[in-house]
Amino acid sequence: MTDTHIGNGFVPSGQLQLGIFFQGVNSGTVWKSPESGSQTDFESFRRIAQTAERGLFAAFFLGEGLRLREHLGRPHALDVVGRPDAQTMLAALASVTSRIGLVATQNTTYNDPADLAHRLSSLDLLSGGRAAWNVVTTDNAWTGANFRRGGYLDHADRYVHAEAFVSTAKRIWDSWEDGAIASSPGASAWAAPGSARPVRHEGKHYTVDYVPRLPRSAQYRPVLFQAGDSPEGRDFAARQADVIFSAHPKLDDALDFRRDIVERAVRAGRSANDLKIMPASEFILAATPQEALEKKNWVRSLQIGPEQAIAYLEQFWGRELQGFDPDGPVPDIDPVVEETSETRGSGFHGAKAKQLADQWRAEAKDKGLSIRQFVSARTSRGDSSFTGSYAEVADRLAEYARTGAVDGFNISPWLIPTGLDDIVNHLVPALQERAVYPTEYAGSTLRENLGLATPVRQEAGAGNTAVGNTAVELEV
Amino acid sequence: MSTAAQGFLALELDGDGAHPAAWRKARHTPAELLDGTRVRATVLATESAGFHVATFADGPLTPASSDPGGRDIPGGLNALQRAAFAGPVTGSIVLVPEVDTVYTEPFHISTQLASLDYVSGGRAGWLVAASDRAADAAAVGRSVVASDAVGREAADSIEVSRRLWDSWEDDAVVRDVATGRYIDVDKLHYVDFESTVESGGAGYSVKGPSIIPRPLQGQLPVLAPAGLLGADQLSAGAVDAVLVSAPTPELLAGEIAEARAAAPAAAIIAELDVVLDARGQSAAGRLAELDGHTPWQSSRARFVGTAAELTGLLASILETADGVRLHPAVLDVDLEELAQLVLPALRRRGVLAPQQTGSTFRHLLGLQRPASRYAAVSVPSAASAASAAEN
């Protein structure tokens, strides 16, 4: 039986929140259906964001593209690709929504802290306190080829760099005294002189010397999301983040992850309930379990067609496999590269290619899977998928709320722009009937709607060696 | 662009107006300047007044040094985001943010501007700024770019964006179910840009392709102040419109002629500060009162007078310029006078181009939608040749 105890003073809220992650890349989004809409037209974004808001979703997420994924040295052709700049799109959505949070994934490696903090602050004010930043890092020179800096960061340094970046951003957001701006046009000055403190940072990778231009927002400062799953990533989140966009939606994994994060948060001097967890997930729903299963098979066949199945293996074999039958067995020839020559930008790393190929051949043979079935099983993120009738899935989700395994789910719709319709029309009411989902927005800011506490003002140089407002980045 | 019979009008919307003390005459509390409600109201008022273009000043990260006492507005919302926020709620007005080219990442700028084109339905443009201030360099930890290199930095940044905007051919997204291809990779192109500027010892390169398909307009119109770019860059068509300033309205004609000679293919837009009689107060009286708080230093020609006089001046400028950009002393006050008295009079005279819902900025400028520069090259790309050779 699943151990649902968490400890360290953690108290389940008994409630769930939903977010929507408009992916824009990868095989999860079906583009081959007649219902599949544009990935770039504003109407797709407006439609799905407004549907999410109708369903009282807490957050609308966008990823960030810094370089197109490649496959065997060319742009990857088989999945949806081509997405807008996150903050520009979210600024536009801010004018046609009023409650939903607007979360921009932004990279610490190829942005400047002063510029990025200013733009996030700007989005936060424009949206009335609904902005959030999903903090990600990159280390490879391949991505750096699109930027002035080029590749400059070692893998080992990426979280040290990211944390210094986030600390600097927080100091920028907290630099204005509350109430600094005059309350009437008759005042002697627009803002009390000296009410914005300069922020200085000197580190191994960058320096900042900046007088911030914007005051705090209705939610004080943008909410911070973090998605890294390594021990370093988890500790970074435990120290800095408000919400973890996790990779652990299966109930027992989610409980283990919660336990681990609570321990890390308490160790970092925070309270057990300070960090919210929202795993990535996919929902395939219908009125009956049987219909849902049929729908799932249909979705999978569109997500992983014969071409995607072969291309997926090619990433790991490092060679063309066009001669192999997608409905036949996993190829009996060996990979030509020692390390996997993965589709760049897709996030696969590391395993020794030949060893991996042997393992996959054995696994597919054991289970009697063709190439296509095998790849579909691997890429469907079966653990993150909730398939079933509305009532069934609502019952499953209620168990997550009861145990406190997660605070909600970040849903990647497999269809754009109508992929949230059945969730909002049927699943949300079923969750409300079970008293595990809000019946109205708690407030007007994202922080209020996620139930997050007002942040403590970041004092100059917290976490660093501080001299006045100058922080010296501690880097190894 | 040849001089059209009808011209267009742009309004600069930053802050509470162009005068540094404008906030003292605004019709809202100071803090309300920095929210979406204000941005929406201002842009909608500008569109309904009949303006063709709204511009959003921004550029440098740090505030101007013209306010040594620190008594006026020290900051503002990001210009590109304000333009994006306005996109879905407007229907005809062109949205042109100012974006710096020196201390920003050209790849990010290109993507942001292309995205603005999508959220505005093809009504986006780019007003190129090029900071030469040490404070802007310090904010992002760069060494200061020498003032003689700033123009080349701007030109490089424009070139990066233009190549990236072309890096997806128009029909690159094929959604071909039969072959399983979402895109045709032969219609995506590496841009392989190499910077020619050795600023602070560091050139840079940009590989491409863009992460977003080609903007709706193909290429966003690019605007730059006269004097920023060199003659060779202007004659090569680096920009689609040039903003022209002069010390007085009378001297504008000469500057317009000079700019047109330097950039014969570009639209010429005259810059004009405006203070109008309003609320029973003379324009001169209003200006004196504002200057009493903070003196207005501006390099632009300034008009101070009645709506009827301004109507005559604008009609006269539009005989030689393609457009005029107005910088109202106090947005809330001067925009109302412009909307009620000046634009209707100009429309009656027939000197203004019609406002067209659903039209593009390129259309307003009389520009065709260009083919991608890469589409003209019909030989297979090196990558596809290499891939064929492996088979």
CB-based contact, B377 to chain A, within 8 Å: no
Nearest to A119 by CA among B61, B113, B100: B61
Identify whether residues A202 and A339 lie together within a single domain: no
CB-based contact, A193 to chain B, within 8 Å: yes
Nearest to B2 by CA among B370, B361, B260: B260
Contacts of B34 in chain A (CB under 8 A): 125, 214-215
Q: Is residue A263 part of a domain?
A: yes
Q: Which of residues 122-181 of A touch B (CB under 8 A)?
A: 122-123, 125-128, 145-150, 181
Nearest chain B Cα distance for residue A211, angstroms? 7
Q: What residue spans define the domains of chain B?
A: 8-133+217-367
Contacts of A95 in chain B (CB under 8 A): 36, 40, 85-89
SS3 annotation, A81-139: CCCCCHHHHHHHHHCCCCCCEEEEEEECCCCCHHHHHHHHHHHHHHCCCCEEEEEECCC
Identify whether residues A236 and A362 lie together within a single domain: no
From A346, A361, A379, give the residue that closes a domain: A379
Which of B74, B78, B183 lies at the smallest CB-CB distance from A191?
Answer: B74
Domain B8-133+217-367 in this protein, CATH class? alpha beta
Whole-angstrom Cα distance, residue A96 to residue A21?
Answer: 18
**CB within 8 A of B379, min separation 6: which ones?**
none
* pLDDT score, position A262: 97
Size of interface A-B (CB pairs under 8 A): 244
DSSP state of B201: T
Q: Is residue A291 part of a domain?
A: no
Q: Which tens digits make up the pLDDT trace of A135-150? A: 998 878 889 999 998 8
Q: Which tens digits make up the pLDDT trace of A56-110? A: 999 999 999 899 999 888 999 999 999 999 999 999 999 999 999 999 999 999 9
Q: Is residue A457 predicted with pLDDT exceeding 90?
A: no
Q: CB of A114 within 8 A of CB of A172? A: yes
Identify whether residues A230 and A347 lie together within a single domain: no
Q: Which of residues 40-79 of A touch B (CB under 8 A)?
A: 40-42, 46, 65-68, 72-75, 77-79
Nearest chain B Cα distance for residue A73, angstroms? 8
Q: Is residue B348 predicted with pLDDT exceeding 60?
A: yes
Q: Is residue A338 part of a domain?
A: yes
> Least CA distance to A196: which residue of chain B?
B74
**φ/ψ (deg, to 5) at B66:** -80, 0
Q: Are the Cβ atoms of B63 and A118 closer than 8 angstroms?
A: no
Buried b (16+ CB within 10 A) or exposed e, A1-16: eeebebeeebebeeeb
Q: CB of A121 within 8 A of CB of A217? A: yes
Task: Give the confidence band of B202 by pLDDT, cuts at 50, 70, 90.
Answer: low
* pLDDT score, position A383: 65
Identify whether residues A256 and A366 lie together within a single domain: no
From A379, A411, A437, give the residue that closes a domain: A379
A419 φ/ψ sector (left φ>0, alpha ψ -120 to 50, else beta): alpha
Whole-angstrom Cα distance, residue A391 to residue A378?
Answer: 27
DSSP-derived 3-state class of residue A418: coil
Identify whether residues A419 and A345 lie together within a single domain: no
Q: Which of residues 59-88 of B touch A (CB under 8 A)?
A: 61-63, 69-78, 80-82, 84-88
Boundaries of domain holding A412: 17-285+382-472
CB-based contact, A9 to chain B, within 8 Å: no
Pairing of strands B205-206, B193-194: antiparallel
- Please tell me the total count of domains within chain A: 2
Q: Is residue A375 predicted with pLDDT exceeding 60?
A: yes
Query: Is A159 a known ligand-binding residue?
Result: yes
**CB within 8 A of A93, min separation 6: which ones?**
A45, A46, A49, A60, A102, B88
Residue linked to tokens 């800096």? A149
Nearest chain A Cα distance for residue B248, angstroms? 30
- CA B221 to the chain's CA centroid: 8
CB-based contact, B183 to chain A, within 8 Å: yes
Identify whether residues A359 and A432 lie together within a single domain: no
Contacts of B86 in chain A (CB under 8 A): 95
From A379, A413, A437, give the residue that closes a domain: A379
Instruction: Count other Cβ atoms within 10 Å, centred on residue A399.
Output: 13
Nearest chain A Cα distance for residue B219, angstroms? 16
Which of A68, A185, A208 lies at the smallest CB-CB distance from B141?
Answer: A208
Q: Which amino acid is at B227?
A: G
Identify whether residues A101 and A118 lie together within a single domain: yes
CATH number at residue A135: 3.20.20.30
Q: Which tens digits make up the pLDDT trace of B77-115? A: 999 999 999 999 999 999 999 999 999 999 999 999 999
Q: Is residue A464 predicted with pLDDT exceeding 80?
A: no
* pLDDT score, position A348: 40
Q: Which of B24, B118, B391 to mutate to test the interface with A (most CBs of A within 10 A)?
A: B118
Lowest mean pLDDT among A410-419, A428-437, B56-65, B173-182: B56-65
A73 φ/ψ sector (left φ>0, alpha ψ -120 to 50, else beta): left
Q: Across residues A255-270, what is the average pLDDT?
A: 97
Identify whether residues A309 and A431 lie together within a single domain: no
Tokens (6 digits) for A26: 């990868």
Whole-angstrom Cα distance, residue A88 to residue A65?
Answer: 13
Q: Is residue A349 part of a domain?
A: yes
Q: Are the Cβ atoms of B71 and A127 closer than 8 angstroms?
A: no
Identify whether residues A330 and A454 lie together within a single domain: no
Q: Which tens digits make up the pLDDT trace of B228-284? A: 999 999 989 999 999 999 999 999 999 999 999 999 999 999 999 999 999 999 999
**CB within 8 A of A223, min separation 6: which ones?**
A101, A103, A131, A132, A133, A242, A243, A446, A447, A450, A452
Tokens (6 digits) for B325: 């950009």
In percent, how much of chain A has pLDDT > 70? 92
- Give the residues across from B199 on adjacent strands: B202
Contacts of B388 in chain A (CB under 8 A): none
ipTM attached to this prediction:
0.94
Whole-angstrom Cα distance, residue B179 to residue B110?
Answer: 31
